[in-house]
Amino acid sequence: MLDQWINGLVIGNLYMLTAIGITQIYGVAGVVNFAHGSVYMFGAYIGWMAITWFGWPLLPAIGLVLAGSALLGLLLERFAVRPFAQAGSTILLLTTIAAGLILDNAAQVIWGPQTQALRNPLPQWYLQLESGIVTLLDLFILACGVTTALILHLFLYRSRAGWAVRATAQDRDAALQMGIDVNGVSRLSFALAGAFAGLSGLLVGLYFNNIYPTMGASATLKGTTAALLGGLGNVPGAILGAYVLGIVEAFSVEWLGASYRNLVAVVLLIGVLLFRPSGLLAPRRALNPEPTAGTFIPHGRPLRFPRWVVPAAAAIAAALPFALVNPYPLQVLAIGWAFALMAVSLNLISGTTGQISLGHAGFVTLGAYASAIFTSRLDLSFAASLIISPLVAAVIGVLLCYPALRLRGQYLAIATLGLGEAISLIALNWDAVTLGPLGISNIQPPAFFGRELVSPVAQYWLALAILLAGVWIVHRLTRSHLGRAFRAVREDEVAARAFGVGLSRYKSLAFGVSAFLAALAGVFLAHSYSYIAPDTFTFALSIQVLTMIILGGRDNLAGAVLGAVLLIALPESIRFLGEYRFILYGLLLIVMLRFRPYGLLNSTK
Amino acid sequence: MSLLSVRNVHKHFGGLHALRGVSLDLEEGETVAIIGPNGAGKTTLFNLISCEDSPDEGEIVLDGRRIDSLPPHLAAARGLARTFQNGRVFGNLTVLENVLLGAHTRLHGLTDPGSRPLGALFLSLREIACCLIQPRRFRKLEAELAEEAKEILSMFGERLLPRLHQPAYSLSYANRRRTELARALALRPKVLLLDEPTAGMNPTETEEMTEVILQLQRRGQTMLIIEHKLELVMAVAHRVVALDAGAVLVSGHPEQVRSDPKLIEAYVGKTRADLAKENAALALTAEA
């Protein structure tokens, strides 16, 4: 009992160090900083280098971590946030995600993808209590947390610079007019937040005795959950939220098992978004109106090309197997078509209907698992599963997303991220049905009327046919009154509603069709890979697909397909790019949003 | 019976009592203007009627059925259309698409929004199927609506017809307001709610808009208008309702309301003579 309280407090302290940074940055820059976890991870690696390579004692190592991660925070502010300050918060969300992607993969390149051991240099002293022990490290972490909170409090409420930070958080424009250097405030906040995040990363590494390049993802999720629990932008709230999260987790690990740790956090995240989006401390009221109309990406309309171009491109794609001898490009392109279908389906939600979704991988996972289970356990044929599994996935997807559909902008984005995570965590924990972390293997290859499609050419054609069907469906829908209604929801929810477009109905329709198509891609991939595990389709895939539609142009079908083909085929065809693929995606996302935000196949003319 | 009647509605925002028992009736074919100083509660009342918000007390009845507490998209389906104070057009939709969206509730049997879950699921699937198959009946309806949209837009002469396929964000402010009005008309509303239809327009544009409103009136369109420009109010309104501090101050024939001293007081404060009288009265009570 006491053990869980101590555990919860220590973990809560660690979450607090990331949560206060996230909440502080939200206050000043208006964005949930998705690169925060990456700074935390870098902090851990800097500390690891100082301790294991240079043999420094703990305190100087901490000094180096603070300086290094503050610097990283500054870089983040300069390149991923400031250039987009006027572009709206959803764009900022995407640029911070891109920055995180770059940092995470840079770490893999620099330090390797393997887990590194981090030895705790503190003496192995501990205090034996009635029903638990307190180690020196526990006390040290508690001391770090309390000191940081105290320093931050004194800074915000007792210093002139802190005054400026609070003023900027309240009203950026007014602060600017009163002569506050808001960019300076922004830099200061990112540096502080970065330093705290780095410290937190190092302490977490010491606590669990290991560090790895992707450790930041869960830190971002936990920090965001804690910050949301306290109400975004509210520093004392974030501290409270972090303790609540830490203690709830400690107890659920005790009662349910260690694998539930993340699921509990995700459930808390979704719960707070649905029921108390302004946080536990705020009076129960709807969240602040966030203007999202047209803020996703600046305006642009599809470039026009002659009528014959699309059928001609489809015909060339279909004839490609006759021209190629080597099957490898066909295999890559088949995957490319499946991704194009995901991009087309995401485009329906994010491009046409204007609802940012970061959980698209969840729909793909749903489809893949549904089909794997139906065909292996219920002996359903592949052909039947190709229709039934996506339908099941669409129904589950809509039911899961429905309560979140009234959220807007970043809040919806985070909720969809949480839902996507929840889907793969359920797949991980529901052993009886999904076989847990092992995944389902030996999934039968695609087959029609008893004939198995195992050759690369056959699978290529199947993928292309599925893609074309998906494109046709989305094309028909978006060219009819439904497309008009979807776009009206994107442009102005209030006006759309006033003209009879029920928001939850049409958002559900968009999510339903989109989930169906994404799941269809999942079904194909599951049978093509013959294997599916909870981590086959991850958050990184959601971001990859989002990058595809930003590359091609929002609300642009041809653009989505082009974006997918470019992003899948390029890293494969240029070998040395393979290792840097995700860094490339991140850079591309930032560069596109900066210089051609409306995409390759849209223009503002 | 009146087409629209507002009965004794109250609305609070925190400590502010924004509407204190407002009642209002609108007969078929009638044009009623709501006037009043800033903060009188005009827009609040409008939001209640268009179901953007629901009243704390009182009821709103359209054509014999209560509509307060309906969500706005169902109110639209019952025949309420509104324009917004700032001209909320759909920026990335073309002018034609904007107007066609106004006819959304008229896509018969397709978009029925008010069913219970299972019915809603069935209707959603039918709506998707209809868009995928696009049967002839459906294409014909769309084509008819497009013709009608052009007809509506022709009310504004050559202002919008040449810009049918331009995105609405490229329009001038006045043209956006016109597009918005056209969109509202495409719903074929029983009651048309106009929130300051000429705000931000120059005198020529205001005059044009007045003409359009008169034309609608001649066709028998029932309208409720919020307007500050008294000239327009005098020209179009059959009746005027003046609000002040959340209550109906005076209502009646435009001429009559215009010269009512209570209204003048509400707008410009008390006249010097009134103040002198009051001071004298106060002085007397103080002496006593």
pLDDT in tens, B187-237: 999 999 999 888 888 999 999 999 999 999 999 999 999 988 888 888 899
Nearest-angstrom CA–CA distance, A194 and A202? 12
Residue B224 has what pLDDT? 94
Nearest-angstrom CA–CA distance, A216 and A202? 12
Mean pLDDT value across residues B272-285: 72
Q: With an 8 Å Cβ cutoff, are A499 and B105 in contact?
A: yes
Pick among A481, A513, A517, A605 to test the B interface (most B CBs inside 10 A): A481
Nearest-angstrom CA–CA distance, A363 and A525? 13
Minimum Cα–Cα distance from B95: chain A residue = A484
Q: How far is B72 from chain A (nearest CA, A)?
A: 5
- Sign, CA dihedral A348-A352-A353-A354, equals positive
Q: Which CATH superfamily is domain B1-79+189-288 in?
A: P-loop containing nucleotide triphosphate hydrolases (3.40.50.300)
CATH 1.10.3470 fits A305-603, yes or no: yes
Of the candidates B83, B273, B56, the residue with the CA atom closest to the CA atom of residue B197: B83
Q: How many CB pairs under 8 A join A and B?
A: 111
The rounded mean pLDDT for chain B is 86
Nearest CB neighbour to B101, from listed A477, A499, A508: A499
Nearest CB neighbour to A495, from listed B84, B128, B132: B84
Could you say which of 1.10.287, 1.10.3470, 2.40.160, 2.60.40 is the CATH number of the domain covering A2-275? Answer: 1.10.3470
Q: How far is A187 from chain B (nearest CA, A)?
A: 35
- Going by their DSSP bridges, the two strands B4-13 and A451-452 should be labelled as unpaired
DSSP codes of every residue in A529-569: HTEE-TTSS-HHHHHHHHHHHHHH-TT-HHHHHHHHHHHHH
Residue A335 has what pLDDT? 92
Break chain B into its structural domains and give their ranges: 1-79+189-288, 94-187
Per the CB < 8 A criterion, the answer to whether A270 and A362 are in contact is no
Which 195-254 residues of chain B touch chain A by CB within 8 A?
none
Of the candidates A354, A353, A338, A390, the residue with the CA atom closest to the CA atom of residue A548: A338
Low-confidence ranges of chain A (pLDDT < 70): 283-299, 575-578, 605
Burial of A121 (0-12, 13-18, 19+ CB in 10 A): middle
In degrees, rounded to 5, the angle at the alpha carbon of residue B178 between the alpha carbons of residues B175 and B179 is 90
A482 contacts in chain B (CB < 8 Å): 127-128, 131
Per the CB < 8 A criterion, the answer to whether A39 and A103 are in contact is yes
Minimum Cα–Cα distance from A351: chain B residue = B92
Of the candidates B150, B158, B149, B171, the residue with the CA atom closest to the CA atom of residue B100: B149
Question: What phi, psi does B88 have (nearest 5°)?
Answer: -90, 85
Residue A74 has what pLDDT? 94
User: CA-CA distances (angstroms) from residue A249 to A17, A132, A234, A252, A262?
Assistant: 17, 17, 22, 5, 8
Helix (H) / strand (E) containing B224: strand B222-226
Per the CB < 8 A criterion, the answer to whether B279 and B258 are in contact is no
Mean pLDDT value across residues B167-173: 87
Is residue B270 predicted with pLDDT exceeding 70? no
Minimum Cα–Cα distance from A495: chain B residue = B88
**Would you tell me how many other CB atoms lie within 10 Å of the CB of residue A143?**
11
Provide the 3-class DSSP secondary structure of residue B64. Answer: coil
Nearest-angstrom CA–CA distance, A198 and A195? 5
Q: With an 8 Å Cβ cutoff, are A481 and B90 in contact?
A: no
Residue B259 has what pLDDT? 82
Of the candidates A204, A196, A194, A237, the residue with the CA atom closest to the CA atom of residue A23: A237
DSSP state of A129: E
Nearest-angstrom CA–CA distance, B82 and B156? 18
- Going by their DSSP bridges, the two strands A451-452 and A447-448 should be labelled as antiparallel
- With a pLDDT cut of 90, the percent of chain B lying above it is 35
Which 86-105 residues of chain B touch chain A by CB within 8 A?
88-93, 97, 100-102, 104-105
Residue B38 has what pLDDT? 83
Residues 6+ apart with CB under 8 A from A170: none
In degrees, rounded to 5, the angle at the alpha carbon of residue A27 between the alpha carbons of residues A24 and A31 is 95
pTM assigned to the model: 0.88
> Half-sphere exposure of residue A239, counting CA atoms within 13 Å on the CB side?
12
**Would you tell me how many other CB atoms lie within 10 Å of the CB of residue A215?**
22
Q: How many residues does chain B have?
A: 288
Nearest CB neighbour to B131, from listed A482, A494, A501: A482
- From the CA atom positions of chain B, what is the Rg in Å? 22
pLDDT in tens, A207-260: 888 899 989 888 898 999 999 998 888 888 889 999 999 999 888 888 887 777
ipTM of the complex: 0.89
Q: With an 8 Å Cβ cutoff, are B124 and A512 in contact?
A: yes
Indicate where chain A has its CATH 1.10.3470 domain(s): 2-275, 305-603
**Would you tell me how many other CB atoms lie within 10 Å of the CB of residue A574?**
12
Residue A361 has what pLDDT? 94
Nearest CB neighbour to A480, from listed B71, B120, B131: B131
DSSP codes of every residue in A200-226: HHHHHHHHHTEE-TTHHHHHHHHHHHH
Residues 6+ apart with CB under 8 A from A594: A83, A84
